[in-house]
A and B are shown apart, each in its own frame.
Chain A
Amino acid sequence: MAVVDRNGPLKDAWTRIGEDAPAPKGASVIVSLARLKNEHNSLFSAAGAVGVEVASDVDLADLEPFLARLGVIVVRMATMRDGRVFSTGRLLRERYGYAADLRAVGDFIPDQVLFLLRCGFTSFEVGEKFPVESLKQSVAAYSVWYQKATDRAKSVVELRGENSSRGAPKGSSS
């Protein structure tokens, strides 16, 4: 497993710990949602930083009490067809105001990373076979988008608005 962001491989300080393993003092640990719910007091005081791994269909109300203190949320895509992650990402960012690292793990393909980035994901845990070299290229595939999303890239609609207020010619009608 390696962790990458849009620019390539990252040095990753997070370690997953099992249900019963103690949290090493001062370490950055990723735990299950169940463990976070049960042990958040001891976890937040013992570990250096706490992250959680959740399924793509996680009930966001379960996470809400911890959002301000979490250092990473890892969202697992069940298969590459599991498009729930995109809604989960946007909701965490846009509705719940989650600001720290949002990481995708699972069976996604490089061509989906661009969509994940747009929906608020910032890092990606990938397997050996994942073509990290081609990631930069897939992420750069599009320079403009029709929609606004979490990444705050200007939408085509906004760019058009700027153009026309600068007096650029509009398309002709027919």
Chain B
Amino acid sequence: MYIYDTFDHTVTRERVAEFSQQVKRRLAGELSEDQFRPLRLMNGLYLQLHAYMLRVAIPYGTLSSVQVHKLADIARKYDRDYGHFTTRQNIQYNWIKLDQVPDLLAELASVEMHANQTSGNCIRNVTADQFAGVAGDEVEDPRIVSEIIRQWSTFHPEFSFLPRKFKIAVTGAPKDRAAIQFHDIGIQIVRNSAGEVGYAVYVGGGMGRTPVVAPLIRAFLPKAEILSYLEAILRVYNRYGRRDNIYKARIKILVRDLGPAEFTRQVEAEWPEIRPSGVNLPAAEEARIEAFFAPPAYEKIAEPVASFVEAKAKDRAFARWVSTNVHPHKIPGYGAVTISLKPIGGIPGDASSAQMHAIADLADTFSLSEVRVTHVQNLVLPNVKQSELFAVWQRLGEIGFADANIGLVTDIIACPGLDYCALANARSIPVAQQLSKRFADLDRQHNIGPLQIKISGCINACGHHHAGHIGILGVDKAGQEFYQITLGGAGDETASIGQLIGPGFAGEDIVGAVDKVVATYIAIRSSTSETFIDAYRRVGAAPFKESLYGRR
């Protein structure tokens, strides 16, 4: 993991001091809420329906066990004993008192964490593949360039007041686990025909009311050039992105209005002007950051690991959990465990302080003290020996996080919705909970196979419903909560946007409607190995429409 040096500590400390000063001015009445608003929004502090919410950055979803313990302590001390992991690999606390925020930030700083740029119209926390450094299919560890971008984007002198928020995601592997094409900039680490490592750059993707799959604007960018190229993109956007209408201010609209070819031309014209400015990192600094992500000392283990094979044979529940929740590791004898924060009937992404402490302890004992957050609101123990998977599974069972449902129908993404969010049209969490209960039966879940349900409480699409195989969108219909269903979205390397299937459903009917969609898939799939999304792409919307609305 990256470890702060004295400069990183200084920047973080000075930020805490600055924001504490601003909070003090607010509490003393020197700043009105109107004046304070833009300041708090630069620090991830939102005023929600019932209280302040603080969003803490987890850069590229990587945490040490020490940091997880601290997040747990904060949940206990400053919140109602819970934290909520988000689709941007961050954590949110929903019940924060303003006068305690300075202390909270100081505690975060003590473990090299912060809430910088988790809101506001700036470059937000960079997200990356949760299996960075351990996935066998990766070209290079995406955390290296992510950390480089984190530092470069922190309080950027030119790009801290953009037309709108700006999100960058990185994948190091051709299999996209970071949904890069739904980001303002998506970076894929690639190798060119000469064997050199560089970046494919996608620009202008996004969710919200205008979902767009980002076009590729550069197939290969040499590694050393990434920061100058990002500056070129950001400068074109900062100067020419729309500022008259917040719904048209994201870079996707600029790319669409100019057309990807003209947008690319402008970026490529700006880039050579920026290259000599010294923004690209010197090789020594790149090497310094890279060294922090050198592989840890793994043991040499021969596969198959007898005890692991035996445990799977003996215990069907364990074998099933392994099949969904353990991802292959690039080192023989290891696995990467996804901890499901989606227990049946639970709130997606929530963890109590006790659960977080237990997970941090598991990381210390079994996973080289590392934890990751996924954009699907789960946690990962990236480095578990296969011989110890059974013990990990048992301990997860003790804290209620051993559900064998990763990638399945109950591994639901849901935004906070009307339970917390001031912008919501409808509740999301209760719908997720009801769906989870409806599909609780594990045999049925495994029979259904890979299926992603994503729920947003309004068109802002924080629950990524556009990218859900089944997307659910809360709408307001004459003061009533209604839910629309979209089908066929995908957030991976085959990115696509879900299509609205027909009129919405009332709260009491939405679960039954989703059940019908699933039953239709089971009836039409060509075999048990044809997944929901494959079947949908083969047959289209017609059979689903018919089962939901009858023949018309």
Contact = CB atoms under 8 A, between A and B. Distances in A.
Interface in A36-81: 57, 78, 80-81
B279 A83 contact: no
A94 B277 contact: yes
A141 B282 contact: no
Contact of A86 (B3, B15, B161, B243): B161
Given A86-B238, A157-B282, A141 B161 contact: no
B269 interface: no
Contact of A161 (B17, B21, B277, B284): B284
A166 interface: no
B441 interface: no
Interface string A127-159: 000000000011001111111111000001101
Interface stretch (B148-156, B335-343, B400-408): B148-156
Given A156-B11, A160-B7, A86 B158 contact: yes
B29 interface: no
Nearest to B281: A157
Given A83-B159, A119-B157, A147 B238 contact: no
B238 A109 contact: no
A95 interface: yes
A170 B288 CA distance: 8
A84 interface: yes
A171 B160 contact: no
A5 to B, nearest CB: 17
Contact of B292 (A57, A118, A171): A171
Given A109-B35, A147-B279, A173-B292, A95 B243 contact: no
Contacts of A109: 35, 38-39
Contacts of B162: 83
Nearest to B273: A95
A86 B4 contact: no
A81 B163 CA distance: 8
Contacts of B11: 142, 144-146, 156
Contacts of B273: 95
A87 interface: yes
Contacts of A81: 38, 121, 161, 243
B16 to A, nearest CB: 11
B158 A119 contact: yes
Nearest to B4: A171
Nearest to B150: A146
B21 A137 contact: yes
Contacts of A145: 11, 155, 157
Given A83-B238, A137-B21, A174-B1, A146 B152 contact: yes
Interface in B262-312: 273, 277-279, 281-282, 284-285, 288, 291-292, 294, 296
B121 to A, nearest CB: 7
B152 A147 contact: yes
Most central of A90, A142, A148 by chain B CB within 10 Å: A142
B404 to A, nearest CB: 32
Given A160-B7, A160-B285, A174-B3, A146 B38 contact: no
Interface in A74-117: 78, 80-84, 86-88, 90, 94-95, 109, 111-112, 115
Given A144-B10, A157-B282, 8 more contacts: A57-B239, A80-B161, A82-B161, A82-B243, A86-B238, A119-B157, A141-B14, A157-B285
Interface of B: 1, 3-5, 7-8, 10-11, 14-15, 17-18, 21-22, 35, 38-39, 121, 151-152, 154-163, 235, 238-239, 243, 273, 277-279, 281-282, 284-285, 288, 291-292, 294, 296
22 contacts: A57-B239, A80-B161, A81-B243, A83-B163, A84-B243, A86-B161, A90-B157, A95-B273, A111-B22, A115-B158, A142-B14, A143-B14, A144-B14, A147-B152, A149-B157, A149-B158, A157-B285, A161-B282, A161-B284, A172-B3, A173-B3, A174-B3
